[in-house]
Amino acid sequence: MKFPRRLWFFGGMLFVFHLSAHGWSQEKIRLSHSALESSNAVWYLAQDRGFYKKNGLDADLIFIPSTTTSVSSLVAGDVQVANASGGGVASAVVAGADLVMVSCYVNSLPYELVVHESVKSAEDLKGKSIGISRLGSASDVAARALIRGLGMEPEKQVLILQVGGPAERAAAFRAGRIVGFPSPPGMVHLAKGMPLRILISTINFEKRFEFPYICATTAKSYLSRRRETVKRVIMAHIEASQFFKSRKEESKKILAKYSRISNEAYLEDAYNASAKLFERVPLVTRPGVEVQIKEAVGRKPGAQLRFEDMVDESIVRELEKSGFIDKVYQ
């Protein structure tokens, strides 16, 4: 039996649409996130729940610990969009990097200063060392803010020691090289047998500590060439944020999967801290960026940097104006 040529044509078109709907013709992109904790959840949740695919992206999501390394990967072109905090981006742009933050999902720094149980007050920290991952990283910014929150001066009264990631910081703490370290909420539940206590938390600050923390960052040249692609990344993250804020138990399971931590007390504290902070409209905090600009410029005499030089919020404002964000949160 022969089929009319027109039926063959429409059948072929339906087949093409079928392939497209299942992601066979999606755009490839390499993304990176910088931690497996709850604050970075929008990145890996978007992958796990298929939000990148839903928005036409075949995303290769890789883990690059710390903002400083993420910034280097962006500059080298190894990744197209990465999570990077404001301090690292400001320092890179002052040094000549072609980078821009396009959205921020968390605009504060939810960190605690975990110290040895022998440290009862700020005075006990004098002349001692606090461990961070790398200079310019979020843990570095957090350490300095927490030390100042205690009325002390970083470097002058309390030393800051670059020791590495969470595992290295825990090892340095056990060995007595450091008396404390900044930590995301909930981590203390994992430190069984370690003599520690929380001395201060950014949550306890009288005024919210403004800091561009979990931010989608890309090269200005990539944004100009692939603006629609970057827009789809942000759309996927907005959907992931809404999922995280509204689906607690499912989100905790995904957090446990990626962090490989099943401790219920940790998962509960980590979820609650991040769910409060994820922005509905992920604009970049101007006050937080301006503080980071001031610090970056202060380290390079003669340098100049404006908010507009390292932030482009046009996509987020476009998505807000179009009604996309309201629709996601219906």
What per-residue string of b and e applies to 166-193 under the rule 16 or more CB within 10 Å gives b? Answer: beebbebbeeeebbbbbbbbbbbbeeee
In the sheet where 57-63 sits, what is the strand order? 57-63, 27-33, 81-83, 210-219, 99-108
CA distance 209 to 107: 8
What letter represents residue 41's amino acid? A
4-13, 79-88, 128-137, range with the lowest pLDDT: 4-13
> 243-282 pLDDT, tens per residue?
999 999 999 999 999 989 899 998 999 999 899 999 999 9
The residue with tokens 């949160």 is 329
Quick check: 239 pLDDT over 90? yes
Which SS3 state, helix, strand or coil, does residue 180 take?
A: strand
pLDDT at 25: 62
pLDDT at 24: 41
CA distance 273 to 271: 6
